[in-house]
Structures are given as C-alpha cells and as structure tokens.
Structure 1
Amino acid sequence: MNWQPPPRPEWAARMIEHGNALGGAQHLVSLDGEDLIRAATTTTGLTDFGGEDWRQHFDIFVRALEEESNLHLVGRILVRTEIVRALTNRLKLAALWSERPSILADNVEAPVFIIGSPRSGTSILHELMAQDPASRVPFMWEMNHPVEALAGEDVAESADMLQKFWHNLQPEYETMHANSGYLPNECIFITLHEFLSDHWGGNHNVPSYDRYLQKADQRPAYRYHKEFLKTLQQRGASKRWLLKAPSHIFQLQALFDVYPDARVVRTHRDPLKTLASSLSLMGTLKWMRCNEVDMSKVPGQLAFGYAYVYQREMEQRASGALPDAQFIDVQFEDIVQEPVATIEGVYAKLGWPIDDTVRTGIGDYAKNKPKGSRGAHAYSLAESGLDADAERERYRFYMERYGIKGEGS
C-alpha cells in the first residue's frame, strides 16, 4: 500500500523526540497490567471490577500493546489514560449496581442499531436521527463518565476537550471524522470497558489482539453494553435507544442473542469507496499513537474480510439465522441527497411517529453540516495497491443484491 502518514504537528513531533531522548516512552509511561489495575483501585478505593470475563481480554490486549504496538510517548499517555478510565468506570459501575440493584432490573426495549461498513454513512445518519428528542442516544461525555453523568456532575466539557485533543494531535483526522464530547458516538466506547472492542484494535498495532477479537465470544461485551445502557437511561425521559457502530456488522449473532428485539438500520455504499476511505482512516488512527504503521498487508485483508462478512450476513438473513424482518436497508446516496425523506422511510418501517418539528430539525442539521465542511478527506483506492476491476468483481454479489450504485474508484 502506498499510504503515507501525514506530518505530525510540531508540538507532537517534539514531544515524541523528547520521549526518545529520555530513554524511550516505555520507560516513562507504564502499561503493565497490574500497575494499570492498581492505578484504578487506588484512585477509587474500590476493588470489585464486576464479572470475570474482562480480565482475559484485558491481559491479551495489554500484552499486545507492549510487544507489538511500538507506541510513542503521546500514544502511551493516551492509551494509559483510556485504560485506567475504563477500569475506573468498571469499579464505579460495579459499586453503583451493588448499591442500586434496581438499575439492572430495568429493561432495554427494542433498541435500534445503525450499522454498516465504516464510511458508509452510519455517523451522519445517527446524528440526523438524533435530532428527534424522542430518541435516546449515548453521548461521548456520558460514555466516558457514566457514573458521574448519572450523578449530574458537569463532566461534558472535559470529555469534549479530550476529543479535541485527537484533532490537535493529527489535524487531518478532523476531515475524516467529527469528534466531540457533545455528539452521539459509537457503541465501541461502551464495549471497550469489557476490553472486547474495535476501539482497542483500531487505534493500535496489536495483530495478536485483533486475531483474538475475531474469535472471541462477544456476548459478554454485549451483556455489559446492555447493563451500561440501563445505567445511562436512568437519566432522561426517553428509553428509545438509537445506537450506532460499524463494528456491529461483525457480531450480529451476538447482538441478537443479547437484544432479540433489536432493529437494525443497515447502511450500504459502494464498497470501493468505503474500502479506500477506511484504509486512510485506519492508517491515520494508528499513526496518531504509534512510531511506525505498516499498512502493506491491510488492504488485501480488509477487502477479503468485508466481502466475507457481507456474504455471511446475506446468507444468515436469507436463512433466518438472523431476523431479516428486523433489518432496514438504507443507501448512502439517499442519506446524503434526501435525508428527510430517507429518515421518514426508516421511521415508517420502525413504526415511529414523525412530525414537522423533527423533519425541520433533520433538514436544518443536514444543511448546516454538509459533507466536507471540516475540510476534504483525500483518499483513493489507487493508494491501496488494490485493483479496482478485481475489487468491483469481488463485491458484485453485494452491490447487485442491494442495488448499490458505483461511485468510481
């Protein structure tokens, strides 16, 4: 792959250089598993993390970080902060659930999950549908601080500052994905607490963890996800959950095992476009934290992997292994060109009412957030080394099945 990392901001480059000059980032910021756990227990004064499944996932991830990631100083600081926060949240949530068992006795009824390949419109559709106050979405700030959110503490601004730090660390990232503590965000920021999450693999060079994640039983992560939602829904009037994460596409069986009444809004876009954009995003995310990023094998693996997942999903929906009647298919082109009409169609299939106030809110949000408003995200399939004709043929079955229009390569 011909992907080239973007230049680092001067402040970040200098900080990384200073870390190397002081003997290496690994000697300055500890990622030892026991040390991370000790940091969380010392901070909270708590020792019960709740459940047992998480520890194996945690150990495998932390070992991969140290042995494979080649993190620079800023990367180590970032991931240590995230891991300790996840552990701290687990401790606080376990204590909360022990004190208030009624929280876990609550129900999460018929949640709606927006899924699809990365770069297929899941984020903008989530944000547009979130304009309806009747829906409940998980905001980034409350996923970062669930117990504090429930207690009414003012933690949103600090969460937003952390998200803006990502843009400061790599300004090109802002052209690829909107990050804000005040926006609804992905379920990976909930499942990361179980240490079964694409957040951990997507931001670090951890191939052994990636392989583990592909084979692991994901139901513990979804059960924890459900308990997390039960906690968040204690604040706010609505329990009509509207959720989103592209990574759900890999774990649909586990999702429906835990949420049998779930509905899925499935976005579709030309896979050559989503491939090229995803590869650019993946490289940038890892470069934000790692000294080196080897993307040479990723294009072929990703192209094969998504084709396999699409084929499996189609077969499972056709066979009844997945409840096809609970899926709603939506085209990326329709989301972009006719957002209000497209969402009206989704609402009709969900059986949700929609009024002019919601229509206006959706339309205004779409007008005020046009594609490319944060700068153009430059990418092309040619950079990946993949052959456009071969990939078009690889995905022909999928495009024909859902009537997806090609956007070029």
Structure 2
Amino acid sequence: MSTKSDQTTNDDSNETVSHEDDLTEQAKNQFGYYSDILRTLELYRQSVPRNDYITLAGRNFFLSELYNLHTNCNRVLNYAVEHNEVFNQNLPTIGPLIICGLARTGTTLLYNLLACDPNCRAPLFTDMNVEIVPPISRSDSIGQKRRLDFLKSLQQDNEQMSAMFIRIAASHAHFDIEEDHSILRQAGYFCMFNFLSDHEDDTPESWIRKEMNKDYVYDYHETFLRMLNTVDMPKSHWLLKSPFHIFSLDKLLQHYPNALLIMMHRRLDEVLPSSCSLSLAASEVYFDKTNSISRDRIIKRTCQFLDTEIECMMKFQTSENGILAQSKKHIFHLTYDNLMKDPISIVHQIYNYFELHWSNEMEMAMRNWLLKNPQGKQGRHTYSLEEFGLNREDIETRYADYINLFLSSNN
C-alpha cells in the first residue's frame, strides 16, 4: 500500500493509488476499520484494470471514481473525529424507514413519494457526492445552490459523465434525493466490481458473500448518517433506499435496531430484463458496447446477482431465530402492480402499518410530485426477455419458491 503519492504513471494512464496520508492520526486511531476500507479499495484498483475489455477511457473513469470515493471517505472520517456532535447527538428514535428488496420494482417512485413527508429526511445526491464536508442543511439555500452549480459544471466539463447521466436516466430516473448506496460505495461496497472484474472467480455470489462479512461498511454508513443528522435532523425519521441492504440485513439491523423495512416485489420476467438493460447502460462508460464478450458477461452476472438477492430475501423471510426473525414484525411487503395502481393509497397504508404521522401537507406534496414527474419524463426504458436470451417459462421454474411466497395471488 503506497503512502507516498496520489498517483503513479505508466504507459497507458494514471493509476490512482490508495493511501492514508490524508487521514489524521486521531481518525486512524478512532476508526480502526479504515484499514479494511483502504484494503478493499486497493483490491479494486489492482484488479479492475487487468480486464482487457475495459476501454482506456473506462479505465481512467474507474480510477478517477475510485479516487473520489476514497477522498470522500477520508474527509468524512476526519470531520467526524473533529466534531463531537456527530456521535453525541442521537439519531431519531423512529426508524430509519428503509426501502430494500429487489431493484427495478418501483423503489425510486416510492422513495420520492415517501420523501414528500416534511417530517422525514432522505439524503440528497449532493449530500453524498458533492462537497460532502462540511455537511449543510436543506435550509442553507446558498450552500445547496453552490453544490448544484458545482455538479452542473462537472457534467458540462466531462462529456463522458454527462452522457452517462443521460443514458442511465432513461433506465433509472435521477432526482435530487438518491439511494444511500452512495454512502456504502465510499466504504468499498462497490457492486460494479462484479461487472468490471475479469476474474472468473469474482462472481456476484462470491462478491456478496465477502460483502456480507464486512461489518465496517455499516460502521461507516452510520458515521455518515450521524454526520448528516447533526445539521438536518428530521422531526420524525430518516428515509433510506438501496436494494443492496438485503445482502447484509443483520449488519444493518445491528446498527439501526429500530429500522422499519419496506420490501418491494415485481414479476421477475419484468425485473430480469429491466435489470440487464440497466446494467448494460451503466457499463457503457467502461466498455465498448459493441463487444459481445463483455455484453454477455454483464448479462450473466446480472442474473447471478438477482439469484443471490432472492436467496437472501428468502432466507430473511423464513428465518426463525435471531435479529432477522425479530425484525419481521417491522416489515411491509409491497408489489409493483399495487404501487402503480394507487401510489398515494399505498403510502397511506405504509404509514398506518408503521404508525407514522400522516399529514395533508404530505399528501398534497405527493400529488404535486406525481403531476410534475410522469412516468417516462426522463426517457422511456424499453426491454424484452428475448434480447437477453431469457424466457418466461425458465424464470417461473427457477424462481418458483420466491414467486409462491411473494407474488402469489393468495398473498
């Protein structure tokens, strides 16, 4: 592990080297898990560029992204150790309210509707990605505008980044609030590694098994959320969302024992092709999209990823012992079809179930949000089973247990 410089140069490109020079001694002593984060980021830095199918531009983009994640992690830990209020001020006793379960199931729509509650807070994209230290409150209009202007300037100056945002928006719409996977990534929970690694042993299942043992990822997650809480503590609860929480629910619940969970479900013959399409869109910044080998590998690993997601969900639902079993009374299951039929009614059901405070102000805000953000506003996401070599019969057979448990008409 280098501690001498930020970069080394070879014939191809600059390679960002993970280092700990920017972390204070006090932070190193308090956050012993930092060495694990550093080790993980360095593993990614060494492994991904070995993939010969990654373009030079993609390789440079990845190394730059990794450097930014590491830099943000250092800044957060340095800030936390210098500001006692990060740990002295408690998080709200309610929640957090967390949307998890499978991706591509309407979670983004639900997330934005739930965020209309003026008594809750969901992390902004800029909170987690742009000038994140020092944290600023929603009421700091000048600071918020500065962050947004900086983000726009980055996109304008970087055509690659701008094109990526536009391309992904059609598959996964972009809004001011963002899922808290952005926090997990700073601690080395980097799911794109599955698609970028060229090593056949680095399957989604093997990556997830390793991630499930990384307690420090949620140590960092809680530190980050506590930092935001010092400047923007909600009156009721924090709102979070990420499908990746399903892989480490025991770790999540150890850090947030009052968590209220929402599990979303959808027909898998819609989830699978939608997931493959999004994975390909997100990977275009790294690969030549005409390369069939890379494309086939991404599709294969996306399907493997879903396999493990479903396995974890089934384990959680059937668990009879420990923290997972105890938390099942704090979980609300929801299908995509029911959400799309009457989204406001569904949110009302969620609030009744968890005994959260409902207000006319929140309902009005949700109705306004729906009017301003019709489906497809940021682009139409089209896909089919056939284009990814999938068929409905195989899916129904392969995932019969999941379908019977969560999608049966009897549920």
Specify the TM-score bucket, using the shorter chain as the normaliser.
0.7 to 0.9
1:33 paired residue among 17, 29, 34: 17
Deviation of 1:205 (Å): 4.0
Q: What is the DSSP-based 3-state SS (H/G/I as helix, E as strand, rest coil) of the residue aligned with 1:290? A: coil
Q: How does 1:51-200 map to 2 (within 5 A)?
A: 51-68=34-51, 70-109=53-92, 110-144=95-129, 145-150=131-136, 153=143, 154-160=146-152, 162=154, 166-169=161-164, 171-180=166-175, 183-198=176-191, 200=192
CA deviations 1:239-277 (Å, max 9, x no partner) are 610000011112212211221211111111111211110
Greater shift in the superposed pair: 78-87 or 121-130: 78-87
State how far apart, in whole Å, the 1-side matches of 2:347 and 2:12 are.
50
Aligned residue identity for 1:387: N
- Indicate the residue corresponding to 2:301 in structure 1: 298
Distance change >3 Å, CA 163–CA 338, structure 1 → 2: farther
CA deviations 1:106-128 (Å, max 9, x no partner) are 22342111012110011111111
Q: How does 1:3-402 map to 2 (within 5 A)?
A: 27-34=11-18, 37=19, 41=22, 50=31, 51-68=34-51, 70-109=53-92, 110-144=95-129, 145-150=131-136, 153=143, 154-160=146-152, 162=154, 166-169=161-164, 171-180=166-175, 183-198=176-191, 200-201=192-193, 204-205=196-197, 208=202, 210=204, 211-216=206-211, 217-238=213-234, 240-291=237-288, 292=291, 293-296=294-297, 297-298=300-301, 300-302=303-305, 304-316=307-319, 321-322=324-325, 323-402=327-406
CA deviations 1:212-265 (Å, max 9, x no partner) are 443231321111100000001122241610000011112212211221211111
Distance change >3 Å, CA 191–CA 287, structure 1 → 2: same
Q: Please give the TM-score of this superposition, normalised by the length of structure 2.
A: 0.81
Aligned residue pairs total 373
Identity %: 20
Q: Please give the TM-score of this superposition, normalised by the length of structure 1.
A: 0.82
State how far apart, in whole Å, the 1-side matches of 2:221 and 2:128 are.
11
Distance change >3 Å, CA 155–CA 374, structure 1 → 2: closer
Q: What is the DSSP-based 3-state SS (H/G/I as helix, E as strand, rest coil) of the residue aligned with 1:371? A: coil
Deviation of 1:384 (Å): 2.0
Q: Is the 1:46–1:91 contact (alpha carbons within 8 Å) kept by the matching residues of 2?
A: no
- Indicate the residue corresponding to 1:10 in structure 2: none
Q: Is the 1:299–1:384 contact (alpha carbons within 8 Å) kept by the matching residues of 2?
A: no
Aligned residue identity for 1:214: R
Which sections of structure 2, spanning at least 5 residues, go unmatched? 1-8
Q: Is the 2:136–2:232 contact (alpha carbons within 8 Å) kept by the matching residues of 1?
A: no
Q: Is the 1:167–1:173 contact (alpha carbons within 8 Å) kept by the matching residues of 2?
A: no
Deviation of 1:179 (Å): 2.6
Deviation of 1:45 (Å): 9.3
Aligned residue identity for 1:223: D
Q: Is the 2:164–2:282 contact (alpha carbons within 8 Å) kept by the matching residues of 1?
A: no
State how far apart, in whole Å, the 1-side matches of 2:337 and 2:389 are.
26
Q: What is the DSSP-based 3-state SS (H/G/I as helix, E as strand, rest coil) of the residue aligned with 1:241? A: strand
Distance change >3 Å, CA 112–CA 69, structure 1 → 2: farther
Distance change >3 Å, CA 62–CA 267, structure 1 → 2: same
State how far apart, in whole Å, the 1-side matches of 2:189 and 2:302 are.
23
Aligned residue identity for 2:220: Y
Aligned residue identity for 1:54: I
Distance change >3 Å, CA 399–CA 383, structure 1 → 2: same
Distance change >3 Å, CA 404–CA 277, structure 1 → 2: farther
Q: Is the 1:202–1:285 contact (alpha carbons within 8 Å) kept by the matching residues of 2?
A: no
Q: Is the 2:218–2:251 contact (alpha carbons within 8 Å) kept by the matching residues of 1?
A: yes
